[in-house]
Structure 1
C-alpha cells in the first residue's frame, strides 16, 4: 500500500513522463517532417532528432522498469526481463547523454569565440569531431555490455529475490555501477566543461557589448543573455538527472525502499521533459511549430467554452 507522499510523487513522475513523451515526440516528428520536405538534414537537426528519440525511449524504459519493480518484483526478477531492461537502459541512457553532449559541443564550437589554435581547428572540423565522438559512444557500449552487465544479471538470476543485493557486498555493487556508468560520467563531465566554456565566452561578449553600448539595446546582447539562461537551466537539469541516477543506484543497497526509489525516478524525469521544453522555447522553428499546433486546440477550447449555456 502506497503512502500519501509516495502517491503524490508518483503523480508528479507520471506528469513528468507524459510531458517528456509529448515534448520529445514533438521534436522528433518536426525534425522528420522537415527532413521529408527538404530531403536533407543539418547536423543540429540530426542531433536533436537523436536526442529526442533516445529520451523518448528512455522515459518509457524508466516507466516500465519502475512499474514492474515496484508492483511486480517477482516478475522483475524472473526470466530474461531484467536482462532486456538492463541492455535497453544502457543503450538509451548513454545515447541520450551522448546526444546532449554532442549538442553542447556543437553549440560551443559554433557560438563560442576563442583564439586558441586547438579551438579554431576543432571549429573548422565539427563533423569530424562529432564522428570521432560517436566512436567513444560505441566503445562505451562495448565496455559496459560484456564486462559489467552480465555479472550483475547472473548474480540476480542465481538469487532471484528482492533482497538479492544483500548477498553482494555493497562495495562490489557500487564498483559495478560506477564501471557501468563510466562512459556516461565522462560524457557528463565533457558536457559541463563545454557548457562552462560557452557561458564564459557569452558572458565576455555580453560584457564587451555593454561597455561599448551607446544607449540602444543590442539584439545580439539579448540573444546572448537568453543563450546563457538556457545553458544554465540545462546544466541544472542535467545535474539533477545524475543526482536522481545516484539515488537510484543507492536504492540497490537499501532493498524495498519504495519512497527513495520514487524520489530518484521523479528527480531523473525532470531532465528529459524539462530540457525538451527548453529546446522548444529556445529554438525559433520549434517554437513556431508548437504555437501552430497549440493554436487550433486553443480555438477549440474557446469555442467549446462559448457553447456552454
Structure 2
C-alpha cells in the first residue's frame, strides 16, 4: 500500500497531466478546426498546433508509463518508452522552432542576417517542421536499438548466464546510446536557449529605449513588453529545469524510487504544463475561443 506522501504526489501528477492534456487538446481543436476550414494557418499558429499535439501525446505517454511502472508491467514499459522518446524529442524540436520563429519575427536587431531570416523564416518553417519529424523518427530508431540492448541485458541477468556479456552490453549501452539520446535533446535545446536569450535581450533593449523616451511613463506598450519579458524568463527557467531533469533521468545520475519518484515526475512536467497555459492566454484567438466556450451567455 503506497504511503500518503506517495498518494499526494500521484494525485498532483495526474491532475497536472490532465490539465496539460486538456489545454493542449483545446489548442489542437481550435487551431486545427481553423486549419481545416480555411486550408491555411499563420505560421506561428501552425507551430503551436503541432507543438500542442506532440505535448498531448507526451503527457498521455507519461501517464501510461508511470502506471505501468507502478503496477510492475516492465515488459510493456520498453515498448511505450520508445513512443515516449519520439514524442519527447519531437516536443524539443518543435519548441525550438517556436522560439526561433518568435525570435526572428519580434527581435529588432539590425544585422543583415536577421533581415535575411525575417524574409525567409515563414517560407522555411514548414520544412523545418518536417525536418523535426524526420529527426525525431531517426532518434526513435536509436531508442529502439537501445531498448533491445536493455531487453538482452535483462534476459542475461535473469538467467544468470554469461554475466560478462551482460556487463559488456550494459557498458556499451551507457557509452553509446545514452550519450546519443542526450545529444539528440541537447541540439534543439541549444537552439531554443539561444533564440530565447536573443529575444529577451532585444525586448529588454527596446523596453529601455521606450522608458527613456517616455521618461518613466508606463503606457500599454511598455507593460506589454514587460509582461513578455517576464513570461519568457519564467518559461526559460522551467523549460531548462525540464531539460536538466530529463538528462539526469536518461544518464541515471539521479534515480528516485517509491515516494520521491512521483515528486520528481510532478517537478519534471510542471514547466511544459505551465507553458501550455501561457500559450493559451497569450493568443487572442485562443482566449476568444476559451471565453466563448466557458463564458458564453445563456
TM-score in terms of structure 2 length: 0.86
Please point out which of 74, 92, 96 is paired with 2:87.
92
Tell me if structure 1 keeps the 8 A contact 2:86–2:137. Answer: no
Shift, 1:188, TM fit: 0.7
Q: What secondary structure, in the 3-state scheme, does the structure 1 residue paired with 2:135 have? A: helix
The residue number in structure 2 matching 1:290 is: 290
Q: What secondary structure, in the 3-state scheme, does the structure 1 residue paired with 2:235 have? A: helix
Please point out which of 55, 74, 77 is paired with 1:76.
74
The residue number in structure 1 matching 2:110 is: 115
The residue number in structure 2 matching 1:26 is: 26
Cα distance change, pair 146–53 in 1 and its aligned pair in 2 (3 A): closer
Q: Distance in 2 between matches of 1:23 and 1:186?
A: 27
Q: What secondary structure, in the 3-state scheme, does the structure 1 residue paired with 2:180 have? A: helix
Q: Distance in 2 between matches of 1:267 and 1:243?
A: 11
Tell me if structure 1 keeps the 8 A contact 2:100–2:192. Answer: yes
Cα distance change, pair 46–138 in 1 and its aligned pair in 2 (3 A): closer
- Equivalent positions of 1:85-164 (< 5 A) are 85-131=80-126, 133-134=128-129, 136-138=131-133, 140-141=135-136, 143-160=138-155
Cα distance change, pair 140–35 in 1 and its aligned pair in 2 (3 A): closer
The residue number in structure 2 matching 1:62 is: 62
Q: Distance in 2 between matches of 1:235 and 1:162?
A: 42
Gaps of 5+ in 1: 301-309
Number of matched pairs: 291
- Equivalent positions of 1:248-267 (< 5 A) are 248-249=249-250, 254=255, 257-267=257-267
Q: Distance in 1 between matches of 2:156 and 2:272?
A: 31
* Stretch moving more, 256-265 or 86-95: 256-265
Cα distance change, pair 280–57 in 1 and its aligned pair in 2 (3 A): same
* Stretch moving more, 225-234 or 104-113: 225-234
The residue number in structure 1 matching 2:163 is: none
* Stretch moving more, 198-207 or 119-128: 119-128
Tell me if structure 2 keeps the 8 A contact 1:251–1:257. Answer: no
Tell me if structure 1 keeps the 8 A contact 2:61–2:84. Answer: yes
Cα distance change, pair 156–250 in 1 and its aligned pair in 2 (3 A): same
Summarize deviations over 1:180-228 as a string: whole Å, max 9, x none: 2312211011101100000000000000010010565332222211111
Q: Distance in 2 between matches of 1:122 and 1:152?
A: 40
Cα distance change, pair 289–141 in 1 and its aligned pair in 2 (3 A): closer
